[in-house]
């Protein structure tokens, strides 16, 4: 079994409350929210980052993006939101298990730092 933090969360080992869960993915609130809504959506399968994505993950990624849309609707983000996938060291990735940030509930600035 993997020691990876988000693999453990995905397996339900840390008692994390899921906002949405299927066989393939899980969504939960970020422990250090950067906006009123800050949700992380992960594949349960260990994929290190976007840079390690394989063609076989195509359906899983489609499911994940549709889940983000559903979560955004549930959170009432009709005025917009941002989806971020930090990738690798220069991308600011701190947890080496692919995750999509869903951020919303305030006006977000651009460009990021």
- State which of residues 27, 42, 68, 93 lies at the interface with ligand 5GP (CB under 6 A): 93
Catalytic residue among 38, 97, 99, 101, which?
A: 99
- State which of residues 29, 45, 46, 82 lies at the interface with Zn ion (CB under 5 A): 46
List the structure tokens of 49: 């980052």
Residue 57-86 contact track with ligand 5GP, rule CB under 6 A, x = bound: -----------------------------x
Q: Which option in Zn ion, ligand 5GP, none does residue 78 bind, with CB closer than 5 to 8 A by kind?
A: none
Question: Does 8 help bind Zn ion (rule: CB under 5 A)?
Answer: no
Q: Which option in ligand 5GP, Zn ion, none does residue 28 bind, with CB closer than 5 to 8 A by kind?
A: ligand 5GP
Q: Which region among 19-27, 58-66, 69-77, 89-97 touches ligand 5GP (by CB under 6 A)?
A: 89-97
Strand ranges for the chain from DSSP E: 20-21, 25-29, 37-43, 81-84, 100-104
By three-state DSSP, how is residue 84 classified? strand
Biggest CA pair distance of the chain: 41
42, 9 Cβ separation under 8 angstroms = yes
CA distance linking residue 102 with residue 39, whole number of Å: 5
The residue count for the chain? 113
Active site residue 32: no
């Amino acid at each position: 079994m993997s020691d990876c933090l988000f693999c453990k969360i995905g397996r339900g080992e840390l008692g994390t409350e899921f906002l949405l869960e299927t066989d393939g993915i899980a969504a939960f609130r970020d422990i250090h929210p950067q906006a009123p809504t800050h949700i992380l959506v992960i594949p349960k399968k260990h994929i290190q980052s976007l840079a390690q994505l394989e063609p076989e993950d195509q359906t899983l990624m489609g499911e994940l993006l549709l889940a983000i849309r559903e979560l955004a609707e549930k959170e009432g983000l009709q005025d917009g939101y941002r989806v971020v996938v930090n990738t690798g060291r220069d991308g600011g990735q701190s947890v080496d298990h692919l995750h999509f940030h869903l951020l919303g509930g305030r006006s977000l600035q651009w460009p990021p730092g």
